[in-house]
Amino acid sequence: MHKIIKLISLGFFLLGQIPATFAATACGVVDSSLQGSFEGGCKEGKADGYGIASGTDRYEGDFALGRPHGKGSYIWSDGERYDGEFLNGRMTGKGAYKFKNGDRYEGEFSDGMRSGRGKHYHASSGETEIGEWSNNKLIKKEDDGRTNQELQNLRNEMNQLRGQRSEAESKAASQLEQLRKQNAEAEAASQERADRERRQNAEAEKQADRQRSNARSNCISACSSERSACKTECENNYSDERPSFFGESPRSKCNSSCSSREDACRHRC
């Protein structure tokens, strides 16, 4: 009896030592691209019922035995997407597939491929292929209910729209080039005006310098003439050059006064 109790205790102890990682991954998915994280229903250690699995790809929807089974949405790592029915992890039934180039297929699938009736929209041309598909190939094409004349009218409208778009792009490019040319001409005219103003200012400054120089020369010349006239007057008024009792003669004093007056005049210049 004691041995049985010990064995039971040991069993509970060993169960308690099971790694947490094993417990966390006990409910898993089969597809390696979806292995990473899972939230949802679980049955016998595998995803079952509604759930969300994320790995390099992502799936949200119904599961059975760890695989997408039922309705769901599958998003691949490159951006392509399928919304529809699954069977044992494969696209099977009705659904819609969006390609990374913008194309879109809506219709029936079988074993992961377009099989059955469906329509494929081509983003590059704007055309839609409708009919029977097998292994991703259109084997029997159907029309979409429009007559040949209606289809031709639609093609004509598309060609007209392409022509209008090309004309609008050409017109816009021409207007842009004209604006660039106008801006370049305006900048050149502005630069020319600025250069002309600088030349005019420089010439005005030179002319002002010449006028100031001429004015000073004229002023100095006038001062010299005034001194000469002053000395002549001194000679006429004071003929005696003999020094007076107090020193300098009257003519010398007069000449000194003329020199002082000339210095003052030059200073003013």
Residues 96-135: tens digit of each pLDDT: 999 999 999 999 999 999 999 999 999 998 889 999 999 9
* Residues 51-103: tens digit of each pLDDT: 999 999 999 999 999 999 999 999 999 999 999 999 999 999 999 999 999 99
Alpha helices in 116-238 (DSSP H): 148-237
pLDDT: which is higher, 14 or 264:
264
pLDDT tens sequence across 218-238? 998 989 898 898 988 888 887
pLDDT value for 22? 32
Give the count of beta carbons closer than 10 Å to the beta carbon of residue 134: 13
The boundaries of the domain holding residue 67 are 29-150
Question: Per the structure, how many domains does the chain have?
Answer: 2
Q: Does residue 64 fall inside a structural domain?
A: yes
Q: Are residues 33 and 136 in the same domain?
A: yes
Q: Tell me, yes or no, whether 84 lies in a domain.
A: yes
pLDDT at site 145: 58
Same domain for 225 and 145: no
Does residue 230 form part of some domain? Answer: yes
Q: What is the pLDDT of residues 3-54, one digit of tens each?
A: 433 433 444 433 443 333 333 346 899 999 999 999 999 999 999 999 999 9
Which residue among 108, 127, 150 closes a domain? Answer: 150
- Partner residues linked to 82 by β-bridges: 74, 97
| Paired strand residues for 128 | 121
Pull the structure tokens for residue 132: 């029977």
Q: Other C-beta atoms within 10 Å of 265: how many?
A: 17
Q: Please tell me the distance from the alpha carbon of residue 248 to that of residue 257, in angstroms, as a whole number.
A: 12
Strand 128-134 and strand 90-98: the pairing is: unpaired
